[in-house]
Amino acid sequence: MSLWTAAEIAAATDGIASTDFTVSGVAFDSREVGAGDLFVALTGVSTDGHRFLAQAFAQGAAGAIVSAPCDDPHVRVTDTFAALNDLGRAARARMQGVVIGVTGSVGKTSAKEALFAALDRSMPEAVHRSVKSYNNHTGVPLSLARMPRDTRVGVFEMGMNHAGELAQLTRLVRPHVAIVTAIAPAHTEFFSGEEAIADAKGEIFQGLEPGGTAIVPFDSPHRDRLIAAAKPYASHIVTFGLEKGADVHAMEAMRVATGGTFVTARVGERELSFTLAQPGMHWVSNALAVLAAVDAAGGDLGQAGLALAELGGLPGRGARFEARVADGRALVIDESYNANPASMRATLAVLAHEPGRHVAVLGEMRELGDDSARYHADLAEPVMAARVETALLVGEAMAPLARALEARLHVVHVPDATAARAALGDMLAPGDAVLIKGSNGVGLSRLVAALRGG
């Protein structure tokens, strides 16, 4: 079944089709275009997608959305960015199933992927989700536009770093179920405090469809603030958390020998036991949010538990592999995609349980504003609690942490990922457990790739 026809694209975008064609996918990055795709030639301050039309069609594009002359099959519009949003709205309008929106300061991509796995197990080939971390003003409409017409459940991640952004995105997605995973210091450069962050995350509830469900973290100090944000829009408010008062809570959470956690959860009046593959209490919280959403969407909780037991780590978000070191191997925990104070603490707590000598490669946390130095220095105790013996700190903002740790363990402070790569080779020994985590812009993913190549 085709994803879009030229006539449907033209009708959705108020454009003019040059000829009949059908597409099976949508992309706005010419490097991602595959056979049968629709290429959306977005224009921006630094680039113009029209420059890459020839490349897109050479890679197999079946058509394009353009705002300039084009010799290949296309739909001509006035504004290609507006057209992408219009196509996303049209995809959402024709979708007859359940839509779930996910946001939060930490855990939203992991929760989105876990939720997809939990639903896909009982509804294979009928669940759609946003790929990668496509959660902003271009990624969300793209993810919507890619949604097959016969989708039964759609799961969409939504992010923000300024107030008002989520309100716009959630009205595009129009979820039946909206989740806030957690509130934590992130993008604090742009907010007055955590309360303002909670208010901005609570905007997700503004797009709820009539009869919709809001899912809120019970253990958060901002729980009541989020509930107040949800009340004008949600018909049902469900809380999740580790504490007994939550609607969906962990009755038991016990670490098992494989590194995961055996969880017995109460979901309303029902109990469910499963072994969560991913280690750490932050993953237990994610799993409870997932179960709350599966239940709200009418999914199969038993199948969801089985899916959570099989869920592997995501690249940059907990994936594990063994790297060759001298004549042996070292465990690498890849958390290189992003970092804020809460996620740093959570992943250091996971490292604490690993066997062997502990090495932490920590990149600076960005967009923390005037409190950046304090947030970095405050990681000293979690680092010590994780039994780290060697810390490789990356980036200028890590200086306060380097000073706090220098008398307590072996610290190497370097300016960038390139220097970190050179320094790490001399640090590792067989049997080590290495945590690699930092803000995405630090580029520690290159360090991970180098270790994988070894």
Q: Is the pLDDT of residue 454 over 60?
A: no
CA distance 435 to 450: 15
Which tokens belong to 52? Answer: 């890459």
Does residue 369 come out as left (phi exceeding 0), alpha (psi in the -120 to 50 range) or beta?
Answer: left
- In tens, the pLDDT along 264-285 reads 999 999 999 999 998 889 999 9
Nearest C-alpha neighbor of 318 from the set 342, 344, 336: 336
Q: Per-residue confidence at 36, pLDDT binned at 50, 70, 90? A: very high
Last residue of some domain: 280, 310, 340?
Answer: 310
Determine which helix (DSSP H) or strand (DSSP E) holds 8, and give its type and residue range: helix 6-13
Residue 260: Cβ-neighbour burial (10 angstroms; 0-12, 13-18, 19+): buried
Flag whether 88 is marked binding: no
Total domains in the chain come to: 3
Asked, for residue 90, whether it belongs to a domain, the answer is no
- Looking up tokens 């995961």 gives 260
Flag whether 5 is marked binding: no
> Up-side HSE of residue 300: CA atoms within 13 Å toward CB?
12
Residue range 133-141: mean pLDDT, rounded: 89
Last residue of some domain: 287, 310, 333?
Answer: 310
Flag whether 130 is marked binding: no
Residue range 94-101: mean pLDDT, rounded: 97
Alpha helices in 159-299 (DSSP H): 165-173, 194-201, 223-230, 281-296
Flag whether 313 is marked binding: no
CA distance 188 to 161: 8
Higher per-residue confidence, 328 vs 193: 328
Tell whether 138 and 15 lie within a shared domain.
no
Q: Per-residue confidence at 1, pLDDT binned at 50, 70, 90? A: low
Tell whether 65 and 184 lie within a shared domain.
no
Tell whether 398 and 274 lie within a shared domain.
no
- In tens, the pLDDT along 324-366 reads 998 899 999 999 988 999 899 999 999 999 999 999 999 999 9
Domain of 61, in residue numbers: 4-78
User: How much is the pLDDT for 400?
Assistant: 97
Tell whether 238 and 114 lie within a shared domain.
yes
Flag whether 25 is marked binding: no
Flag whether 108 is marked binding: yes
Flag whether 106 is marked binding: yes
C-beta of residue 39 within 8 angstroms of C-beta of residue 64: yes
Tell whether 304 and 325 lie within a shared domain.
no
Which CATH number goes with the domain that contains 200?
3.40.1190.10
Query: CA quadruple 85, 441, 104, 167: dihedral positive or negative?
Result: negative
Weakest-pLDDT range from 30-34, 206-210, 256-260, 385-389: 256-260
Asked, for residue 54, whether it belongs to a domain, the answer is yes
Weakest-pLDDT range from 184-198, 330-344, 378-392, 422-436: 184-198
Q: Please provide residue 332's backbone torsions phi and psi, each rounded to the nearest 5 degrees.
A: -115, 125
Q: Is the pLDDT of residue 24 over 70?
A: yes
CA distance 380 to 22: 56
Residue range 402-409: mean pLDDT, rounded: 96
Which residues neighbour 140 within 8 Å (Cβ) at sequence distance 6 or greater?
A: 88, 130, 134, 156, 158, 169, 172, 173
pTM, 2 dp? 0.87
Which CATH number goes with the domain that contains 19?
3.40.1390.10
> Up-side HSE of residue 246: CA atoms within 13 Å toward CB?
24
CA distance 170 to 233: 12
- What secondary structure letter does DSSP report for 269? T
Which DSSP string corresponds to 407-421? TTSEEEEESSHHHHH
